[in-house]
Chain A
């Protein structure tokens, strides 16, 4: 390398750094994709909220669906709830994971505000949440027909989130699996 050319080295390195930083501005460092993407839902055996009997991972298999992690102590879940009602009314299967909550309070909540869920898994201790890598409520998982986790959205699911992120993926899973 010629002597003059060597002096350009710092500039070149800086340019590479600047490009990386530019790229970094459009990323969200706090965003954490689920570690379970493309893996089946972890095995579990937990009670069904409001009814007797146990649920297991076999119960979510059959069609692409949403698994919504919620709790009565989570204020954002209350914000999200009406929209979930809308989605359920459209026929989209939503399963609930009642995360570290009190059964009675949860049942009351559903009675008052409506129940968009096909069923609710009562994860009182948060064991399934831990296995899923849940770190706060609300979170929504997109499962395919085989019960494999395809996507996780952290935060409230509102119209914008549904239209831009979840709906396209859900449609793709539906056409792919040929489900009605």
Chain B
């Protein structure tokens, strides 16, 4: 069993080896199609590999999917149609850009929400003291305040 497992692992390694970049030379009827091909092949995940898009993988299934992609583009399908076609067969797993909806809404909204929370916290923190500088120095004498300012400036010149 271990020998066979080793063989399987070796096969898997050979097939999924990232450095064996298989380069096909598809002809496209227009440069826009080629650009879309490049973009979509980077957005589609190879179902079998360990986290590679179909552009970079040389697994047989990745090759098949690239051929399919080329074929569909030449037929005139839109990006959405092609992605849906793949999802029907391979599941949402195959999209590297999660669609906006269902479970992934929270994923797309998270950065915005986090940023809003951050800004909120920031403004609340900054709202407490008075808006002009050199606050909290009422207890210092005028001489000390001048000293403080010069110390602060000196500290500012370092980093």
Q: Which residues of A contact B (CB under 8 A)?
A: 30, 32-36, 75-76, 79, 100, 126, 130-136
Contacts and interface: CB of A to CB of B under 8 A. Distances in A.
A8 B147 CA distance: 40
Contacts, number: 39
B8 interface: yes
A32 B47 contact: yes
Interface on chain A toward B: helix, strand, loop, or mixed SS?
loop
Q: How many B residues touch the partner, as a band?
A: 10 to 19
B91 A33 contact: yes
B104 interface: no
Interface in B28-82: 47-48, 50, 59-61, 64, 68
A133 B48 CA distance: 11
A36 B89 contact: yes
Contacts of B8: 75-76
B11 interface: yes
Nearest to A131: B89
Contacts of B88: 35
B51 to A, nearest CB: 9
A35 B61 contact: no
A130 B71 CA distance: 13
Contacts of B60: 100, 136
Interface of B: 4, 7-8, 11, 47-48, 50, 59-61, 64, 68, 87-91, 93
Contact of A35 (B11, B48, B50, B91): B91
Contacts of A32: 47, 90-91, 93
Given A35-B88, A75-B7, 6 more contacts: A32-B47, A100-B60, A130-B89, A133-B47, A135-B48, A135-B61
Contacts of A130: 64, 68, 89
Contacts of B89: 35-36, 130-133
Nearest to B48: A135
Contacts of A33: 91
Given A76-B8, A135-B47, A135-B48, A126 B91 contact: no
A36 B89 CA distance: 7
B146 to A, nearest CB: 36
